[in-house]
Amino acid sequence: MNQSDFRPHFKLQIGDTAPDFKSKIQNGSTIQLKKIKSDWIVLFFYPQDNTPTCTKEACNLRDNFEEIKLAGAALFGISPDSESKHQKFISKFDLPYDLIVDMDHQIASAYDVWGTKKFMGIVYDGIHRTTYILNKHHKIHKIIYPVDSAIHHQQILESINS
């Protein structure tokens, strides 16, 4: 297999209506995409709470959360972690946004970010770190891939402003 075999193949395109979903967040409440009202909705998919790159990304978004909010965006992280793992991650790093539970990979699959990956020679299935930016009509405005965890807020703000 070559490297391109491990990149996500996005079936969703700019302008498509984002797949609706209903899931739990870290505190056990239910969230449904179609009920979110915001000028922009940012869904950032990441592999796992408390791993180095995911923590770097989460903290970058935390440190720049007010700027993202001022741009009119609602921000949500999505990973296969449980409610309790999400709650611990939020508490440990004082994250000001909700984390959505996707333990069965249904949301990640609907957004084409669940697939084969390779790390240190090991091939496995997991989340390809990807961010979807939706407009207020829940249409896909931008798909950010690859994500740069250290400056992800800039990628988001540039996408909103493009």
Pull the structure tokens for residue 130.
């990807």
Specify whether 54 is catalytic.
yes
Q: Contact at 8 Å (CB) between 131 and 156?
A: yes
Q: How far apart (Å, rounded) are the C-alpha atoms in residues 138 and 37?
A: 9
∠ CA 69-113-96, rounded to 5°: 25
Q: Which of 54, 78, 100, 140 is catalytic?
A: 54
∠ CA 38-71-54, rounded to 5°: 90
Peptide bond into 146 cis (omega under 30): yes
Residues with a known catalytic role: 54
